[in-house]
Structure formats: C-alpha cells, structure tokens
C-alpha cells in the first residue's frame, strides 16, 4: 500500500482536502522511484534497460490495440444478458428500447 498522489477521478480536486505541500513530501517517498534507485545501485537497472522496456511495452500495446480494432463488437444482448441472471425491470425496459433501435444486433 502507498499514498495516492493523484485524484480519485477527473472531477476530483485533491487541493480541497490536502494541505499545501503534501504531494511534494510524498513524491520523495514514491515507491517506484525508490525501487528504481535501489535497482540502479545494485546495477540491475539503467537508462538503456528503461528505453528497451518502454519500446517493448509500446509495441505490445500497439499490437493489442490492433487486435481490439479487428475484433468484432459483441452483440447487444451481452450488454445485459451476460451480466444479470435476472435483469432488473428498469434495465429490461431500456434494453427493449435498444433492441428496437438495433434489431440486427439483438
């Protein structure tokens, strides 16, 4: 567990409930930065390895995005039928309305 330096969401403003300077104090305790410094001291990490990892991750993400783009959209029924055993009445009405708008997908 560690301190959450970011906001809860895009609509959250941590400055309303955090004292000024609190984030700066915690940045010095950042566990990722601390681990990096430790690994560098142990000669287990360096900028070259960092660059290689970032390139590898970028390639992996790019491939995953391409696979996602090529994957057909799920049918409309999976929106509720794969989630609920008994569809709530209010959701069933919305689902029925959607099926009328997109009959080929239901």
Query: What string of pLDDT tens digits covers the 106 residues of the chain?
Result: 888 988 999 999 999 999 999 999 999 999 999 999 999 999 999 999 999 999 999 999 999 999 999 999 888 888 888 888 888 999 999 989 988 988 876 5
Marked catalytic residue, from 3, 17, 36, 85:
17
**Residue 4: active-site member:** yes
Of 106, 84, 88, which is closest to residue 97 (Cα–Cα)?
Answer: 106
**Residue 17: active-site member:** yes
Marked catalytic residue, from 3, 4, 36, 38:
4
**Residue 38: active-site member:** no
Marked catalytic residue, from 8, 84, 85, 95:
8
Which residue is associated with the tokens 């996602």? 68
Whether this model's pTM surpasses 0.75: no
Distance between CA atoms of residues 32 and 38, nearest Å: 10
C-alpha dihedral sign at 56, 8, 16, 3: negative
């Amino acid at each position: 567990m560690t301190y959450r330096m970011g906001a809860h969401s895009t609509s959250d403003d941590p400055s309303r409930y955090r004292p000024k300077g609190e984030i700066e104090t915690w940045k010095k305790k950042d566990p990722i930065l601390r681990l990096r410094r430790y690994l560098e001291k142990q000669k287990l990490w360096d900028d070259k390895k960092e660059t290689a990892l970032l390139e590898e991750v970028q390639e992996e993400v790019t491939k995953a995005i391409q696979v996602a783009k090529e994957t057909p959209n799920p049918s409309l029924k999976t929106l509720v039928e794969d989630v609920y055993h008994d569809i709530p009445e209010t959701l069933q009405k919305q689902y029925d309305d959607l099926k009328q708008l997109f009959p080929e997908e239901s």
